[in-house]
Amino acid sequence: MLFIGICGASGSGKTTLSEELCKAMGDKISTYVLNQDAYYIDHPELTYEQRTKLNYDEPSIFDHEALFEDVRCLLRGEPIEKKDYDFTRHARCDSKQLIHPCDVLILEGIHALHDARLGELMFLKLYINVEPDICLLRRINRDIKERQRSIDSISSQYLTTVKPMYDKYIRNYISLADVIVTRGGKNARIVDILAGYMRNSLAISDER
């Protein structure tokens, strides 16, 4: 199994790049995308209003231990139970659905390269480098359509947590990356290059 990490600012195109890579790998290679957002720590003891005020862009908001253990299980050839998160309620909504080991496992998230233990397991570490204003526009569009957020709430969150955490943490992950991807997740040329490299690596691994 090849384990790939995709990191970048909110709205940079991490999910899109993950999906495009899965398509480019073809039907004969099994792929799965783990979304780091599914591993937000649950806070059932807090009210909805209190949960809306949490900083969802800092590293400590994620359950890194659960994510690390799930990745290790998959790399060992063991299935895991699917994690999920409901952004409209700010609450976990895990299921009993099983995720089985695959040929290519992709982890995408704003702090996908934060945990050094995961970094050591990654075959490739990718960083999507997109202008912050483009990321903001994409985030506004996504949050209104998919997460039922208002412009006021999006603006407040961006100024209080998203931008400060990008400046403090996320922009610095670029130094950990093996490959820097420009122009977002639909950069067809880099998708083809990466997919070809991974297919070749899997073929070499199978021969051994």
Residue 30: Cβ within 10 Å count = 14
Name the token pair of 72. 């290790």
Q: What is the pLDDT of residue 8?
A: 94
3-state SS assignment for residue 129: strand
Q: Cβ neighbours of residue 25 under 8 Å, at least 6 residues apart? A: 31, 103, 104, 195, 198, 199
Domain residue ranges in the chain: 2-207
- Kindly list the strands in the beta sheet with 2-8, ordered across the sheet, starting from the edge strand earlier in the chain: 31-35, 104-108, 2-8, 124-129, 179-182
Mean pLDDT of 29-58: 95
Q: What is the pLDDT of residue 203?
A: 85
Q: What is the pLDDT of residue 148?
A: 77
Position 144 pLDDT exceeds 90:
no
Position 208 pLDDT exceeds 70:
no
User: Comparing 19-28, 127-136, 198-207, which segment has the lowest mean pLDDT?
Assistant: 198-207
The yes/no answer on whether domain 2-207 falls in CATH 3.40.50.2300 is: no
pLDDT digits 0-9 by tens, 59-91 = 999 999 999 999 999 999 999 999 999 988 999
Q: What is the pLDDT of residue 147?
A: 77
Position 206 pLDDT exceeds 80:
no
Q: What is the pLDDT of residue 134?
A: 82
Choice between 182 and 204, residue whose per-residue pLDDT is larger: 182
Q: Select from 130, 94, 99 the least CA-distant residue to 32.
A: 99
CA dist., res. 134 & res. 48, Å (int): 30
Position 97 pLDDT exceeds 60:
yes
Q: Cβ neighbours of residue 103 under 8 Å, at least 6 residues apart? A: 1, 2, 25, 29, 30, 31, 202
pTM equals: 0.90
The per-residue DSSP string of 92-123 comes to E---S-EE---SEEEEESTTTTT-HHHHHH-S
Which residue do the tokens 């209080």 mark? 160
Half-sphere exposure of 82 (CA within 13 A, CB side): 11
Q: What is the pLDDT of residue 207?
A: 56
Q: Cβ neighbours of residue 130 under 8 Å, at least 6 residues apart? A: 8, 9, 11, 12, 13, 182, 183, 184
The pLDDT-based confidence of 205 (bands split at 50, 70, 90) is low
